[in-house]
Structures are given as C-alpha cells and as structure tokens.
Structure 1
Amino acid sequence: MTSAGGSALAAAEAAAEPPAAPVPRARPRDRKRRIEEAAAVAFAERGYHAVGMQDIAAAVGISAPALYRHFPNKYQLFVRTAFGLAHRLVEATEPPASAPADADPRAVLDELLDAVIDTTVELRATGGIYRWEGRYLEAPDRAVLTGEFVLLRERFSERLAVLRPELDDVEQRWLALAALSVVASITAHHTVVAARTLRTLLAEAAWRVLELPVPVAASGAEVTASGPEREDDSRRERLIDSAVRLFAARGYNDVTIEDLATAVDLTPSGVYRHFENKSALLLAACERAAVSLERAVLGAREHAASPADAVRELCRVYVQHTFAHLALTRVYFAELGNLPAEDQRRLRALQRAHVADWTALLQSARPQLRGKEAAVLVHAGLNIVADQAPLLPVRDADAADRLVALMGAALGV
C-alpha cells in the first residue's frame, strides 16, 4: 500500500509540473555554405531555368522558407554560385601575382598555373556554371564576373610579357586566354584520370600554349562565316535557322514559340505544323550540328598523310567549321540539357563518339598517351576554340591559323 500510494503521489506531482520547454534546434553554422554548394551542383548539372528553390532546399534538407532566410530569390543564389569559381581563382592567384616585379617570370607563371589548376580541379563539378549559364546574369553582374576573369588573364599576361618580351599585347592575350582555357576544359567533361596525372597533363598543355611561337603565318585560306548548312530553303529549314540564331543569342528558355513564328512570318499555329513543340526544334538543331561535325571529321581523316597530319588537319577543319557555324555550335553544347532525357542521351552519345574519334587519332599520333589522357587533351583543344571563337572581332584566315596552332600546342602535335 505504501509503495503503491507513494508511486501514485509521485505520478500526480509529476503530472502537475509544467512540461519542459522544447530545446531550440541549433542552426548549422555552415548552412549557407551548404546551400551554395547544393545550388552550384544543381545549376551546373541542370541549368538555371530547370532548378527551383524547392529543389535546392530539398538537397540541403531544409524547408523552402528556411532557404529564403539566406537568399531572397533564385537569382541572388545563382549570382553567388556563378561568382564562386571566379572569386576562388582570383583569391588563389593573389600570392604569386603579388611577387616582386623582378621575380623569375617562369617561376611566377608556374605558381599561377598551379593555383588555377588546383582550384579548378577542386571545383570541377560546379565550375562550368560560368561557361553557359553566365548568360542569364543581368548586365551589371555579368560585368563584374567578366572583370574578375580579365584580372585573372592580366596576371598571366603581365608575367608572360616579362618572360617573352617579343610578344605584343594581342599575342600575350591570345596565349594567356588559351592557357586558361586548357585548365577550364575539365569543367566541361567527366573524364576521370588520377589527380596527379590530370594536373600534369593540364600544366604541360598550358605551358606548350604559353611557349607557342607567334605570330603564326596565315595560310591564305578563306574562312566564311556563313549560316548553318541546309538542303533547301523550306519553311521548316528556315525555322531551324531562326531557332539556332535566337537560342544562341538569348538562350533556349527565353525564346518563345511566338518569337520563332515572327522570325519566319508565321503564326504560332504555323510553327506547330512543322514541329510539335519548341523542344523538337532544339532537337533538330542539335542533330544538324552532330551531322555537320561528323562530316568535318570524316573529311579531315581522308586527306591526311600521317596520324599527326590527321590531327592537325582535324584542328583546321574544326576551327573553320566553328567559324562558319558559330551559333549552331554554341546551341549544340549549351542547350542540350533542355531536351527530354531520351534525346539528351542520344545526342550525348553522339558527342562522346565525336570526342572518341579525336582521341583515337591523337593516340595514333602520340602512342605514349593512354585513352583517357588523350581525351583530356582533346577536350582542352576543343575548349580553346569554344572560349576564343566567340570573342574574336574578326574570324578570318589569320585568326583561324592562330587557333589551329593553339589547338595543336594543347594536343602536343
């Protein structure tokens, strides 16, 4: 009885006590960083328009309202992530860039390259945001981002001018940009090689570019900046041409069916008579690019006397093809993520096959390279053209010869 009564009394007293206040959950100190990292991965993999704030919140394991406490909207989060690589590159190269003016220029350039390579390797999965998605930045933000990359390039140019005083300002810029493009190329593909091997490949290729003799003599060949090839002037083909031009200039997501219809004097319903939807137009444009590139590769291989000659010829044909079809090439590589999954898989397979053709040729010319090592260099060469061709004020024979020489230096042929 006493025991039972005591237990009952204790239970009653406990029930009378007010419940304990809930212990507040501590907000992780690194939550903002985790949000930025998750957003960077999402934007890099799926593109700006395909990612929602709820997607990012779910990846971090928080609610959307909690996410908005850190960033007011998706654009502000995008700006933060788009600036991430540029900020890190500028910070990483600050110590070698601050070396005395009379410091050994080769040693300083080595340190600059090491800093850029290490940072880019670390941020490889997300560093590609600036390449294609940066076009969605508003003009003031784009100017800031451009300014940071200009500063990075100037740090290389400044020491290159001391190392190679025979270069003029334009030549310094060509070589510095190409060396940076070699390193940045790893953000555009997923080829896996050992970390030390990757760093060595990138550093050696960048140095071959920086040491390239210039100026390169022009071949005298004409380079015409024509529109995309087409077999006829049908309304369907004109629609594809207009889509390529508009997608390249404004981005797929900012172009409407109404825009496309207006460009060829059609009503929106007239567009739908030729294409089921906007995605079908993008698919047709990408297929056109794939076929055009395949023809370029076949043509280059037919006329080569040796494997090294075949690689050099392929570089020449690729540069000329890019000059002639700049908008089409940009759409092919920038907008693939906007296609349905099945179409993406098919076209990515075509892209991989295209790189595989280059890789096989390069291995024939440089048999000491393993397959993945050759693939890394192929991407480096292609990236030089992708980065520099849109920036050229004039895409003539001289510019083509310079780009071909830069590609050859990156590839080591």
Structure 2
Amino acid sequence: MFHAASSPGQNRSPLPPAQSPAPGVPSPRKPAEQSGKPGKQRDAFFDNAKYLAIVLVAMGHVWEPLKGDSRIVEAAYTVVYSFHMPAFIIISGFFSRSFDMRPDRLKRLITGVVVPYVVFETGYSLFKRVVDHAPDHDISLLDPWFLTWFLCALLIWRLTTPIWKLVRHPLPIALGIAMLASVASSIGDDLDLQRVLQFLPYFVLGLCMKAEHFHMVRRRSVRILSVPVFAAALAVGWWAVPHMTTAWFYHRDSAQELGAPWWTGPIMVLAMFGCSLLLTACFFAWVPRRNMWFTSLGAGTLYGYLLHGFLIKAGDYRGWFDHPALHRPLGEIALTVVAAVGVTLLCTSPVRRVFRFAMEPKMEWAFKQDAAELARARAKAERREREKVSA
C-alpha cells in the first residue's frame, strides 16, 4: 500500500480516466458540487459510527459498577468492551491517513489533542480533590487518568503516522509491538504506554484502510450474518464471566500483572484482535449510511467522551451507583437509558459552544505565521471570489 512511486520517465503509461466511486462507498468528504454547499461536507456514515460508539462507551461506564451483581450485564459489558474502542480507534486511524508534519496539521494536533489533554487531565484531578475529598491526589501530565489516556494515545499514534506510511508491512509490525508490550511488565504507567502499544494495531489498521473496505462490511449479507455473530458473542460473554477477567479488554496491563503466564499475553493480543475486528465489522454493518437525527452529533463525540467522565466520577464518588434499585433489572435499564441520553446531550451544539475554549481553542497568538499557510489562504480566498464572479 505504501510502495514508493515509480521514477518518472517518458515511457510511463498515461493515467486511467477518473471514475465515480461505487454506489454506497463512503468517503471522508463529499465534493461541494454534490452537496450544493460551499466547502466540504462530512460523511454521514462516519459521524453515525462515532456517535453510536460513544454511546456504547457511556453505557459501558455505567455498567461497570453494576456488572458484579448481574451476569447478563457483565456479559453485555464484555461484548461491548471487545469492540467499542477498537471501532473508535480504527476510525481515528482512517482520518489520520493524511497527517504529516505540515505546520497547520501540527497546530491542529496541539489545539485539538494536546490542549484538551492538559485541560482535562488537570480538571479530572481537581474534580477528584474537591468532590471525593482527596487533597493528596496528584496532578500528573505523565500519568493519564481515567479517560485522558485516549488523547495521550492519539497524540503518539498520530505523530508516528509518517513512519507507518513509510514501512512495507505496518500492521504485522504493530501487532508484533502489541504482543511484546503484553509481556513487558516494566513499561509502567508513564503516558499509559501499555494501552498505547496494545491498541496500536487498530490505529494502524485504520491508516491502511480505504473507503471501499467500509463498503464491504455494509452489504446486506454481512448485516444478516452479524446477528448470529453478536448472539454467539453474548453467549461466549455469558460463559466467560466466571472464567475470564474483563481487565484483558482494557489493554492496560501485561499478562504478568493480570496473574497469567507471560506467554498468554501474545496469544490474547492476537485472539482479541481477531474477535474485536469481527465484532467491529458487525457493528459497522449496522451503522446507517444516510443522515439520521443523530448524525450531526458525530462531530462532537470527543466532547461527549471527555465530559461524561465527570458525571461517571461524580456518581462513583457520591455513591449514586450503590442504590439498591439500580442493581435490579429495571434500574439497570433505566441507568443505561440515562447514560445514552446524557452523552447525547453532551455532544450537542450548545455544549460544544460552551466548552470549545478547552476542546478546540484557536490559539493564533501561540503560533508563528506560516508563509505557505498564508499563501494557501490567499489562494483559497481568491478562488472563492472568482467563483462568486462567475456565478
């Protein structure tokens, strides 16, 4: 996929004529001519997938304090945790394919990943100090706490993107690194490197994917087959409750730290990678590809991801999840609905406007003016003026 281009010469064959994409093939952006609007339009499939994945993340977090009392909840928790973050990471990798060290992209990486990491890592720590009455809780930017590990991981993955685009076999290399990490108990907690390395193959897979691959899993036959696959996954999850710890799905510990022989680490990495891909494909098969009522919320999933953590931790610190009614079937269902509705509201435009200062700050004052970027901006403005005149 990443072979070097052939040397230019006079005998090179002419390029084939441009062809329209196959019907239903998703692309990260649609041309302005098709949308009828200036600029670029987001693809509904990916926004739908991100929204549904973030809802599953919130549901999984409220199931965690309940799963010890319900085998059904723990089975569902196991299945959801086997694919919801892999799906989100694969999409993140897919949209990181064009990342390079160009100044404007580095700026977006700083304002969209580094700054939110610093803000929310500090915010979560202060929140614990105040609400949980833990004045000794340290604020450490080197030890991601709770949900901020994903921002730290995304920063590292994206910075290494040019390397993965350069090497010949990126996915086997990433899998090898994840397997080695699973037996390296000395990695420690700095930057949550254990998670960064064990989840790395999913990001690299996203980098290697094309839009056609998403089209393949959204065929009618795949949607039909995904139903018995999910049913079988729930049955396996039910069986695994007393036989397997769910900590394997967090990818934050080595095999030795989980009390298992070292050689089980690489085996579990490969086994879980296969299971996660299978369930992720089934999940993508059922993601709508048309505009839905929640499609616009897909642009705000990072807001929902980071902000709902305060609600989860507040419930944990204040003992809300200990109420006996929540540990009964109706309580579990009600809490699941509340989690889905809550994270949905946190992805809406009003919430994004309020917290944009922390999630998407402009910070023009912090960066030098790049000559190439200014030239591109002038060329873009001139092109728009010409389009207005011709219209």
Smaller-chain TM-score bracket = under 0.3
Q: TM-score, normalised by structure 1?
A: 0.26
Give the number of the structure whose alpha-carbon radius of gyration is greater. 1
Q: TM-score, normalised by structure 2?
A: 0.27
Higher helix fraction (1 or 2): 1
